[in-house]
Chains A and B, each alone.
Chain A
Amino acid sequence: GEDVEQSLFLSVREGDSSVINCTYTDSSSTYLYWYKQEPGAGLQLLTYIFSNMDMKQDQRLTVLLNKKDKHLSLRIADTQTGDSAIYFCAETANYGQNFVFGPGTRLSVLP
């Protein structure tokens, strides 16, 4: 089946930029997503990108997509302690039916 991989942990200092990376195997992905999950909570949609785009910016968030390498990244500028959470990369190949999620990257923001 299709697979999505992420590094499991990332630590940054408050005020620095965070970059969370994701690779996927499905060459027919149509949309790619970043979700945030705080302890004991459901998933909050942060942003998503259509596969024919290579960049999307939304306030402190910048998503970069390299479709050739099947690589997606999420950059969080001026990272704050409230950004500490698990970040999931996900993709869908059929316009929003079943999503395939990565294992999540736990972001720790140090004061």
Chain B
Amino acid sequence: AAGVIQSPRHLIKEKRETATLKCYPIPRHDTVYWYQQGPGQDPQFLISFYEKMQSDKGSIPDRFSAQQFSDYHSELNMSSLELGDSALYFCASSLEQENTEAFFGQGTRLTVV
């Protein structure tokens, strides 16, 4: 069965650079979530989209933005990268939000040097 696809799997950027992370949800899933997980930390909710509209926002820095496109894939744009942005970034998708499983991708490991 198709899973959530994230690209790239690994990314190395320098401070102050920009990064774009992509997420391709499971086919027919209309809800996408983004999470950040620092070393030894639990996943922190960043932002979510339902039917291409932003639905909820968590602890996402103003330097970050995201959107969901007409084909339901999503991109997380991160600008003015800081060392502290180094983390695993996960995308998850679900079919509608209430009472359905949210499935996660393998994540993008971002290292800022």
Chain B binds chain A: no
B interface vs A, CB < 8 Å?
none
A interface vs B, CB < 8 Å?
none
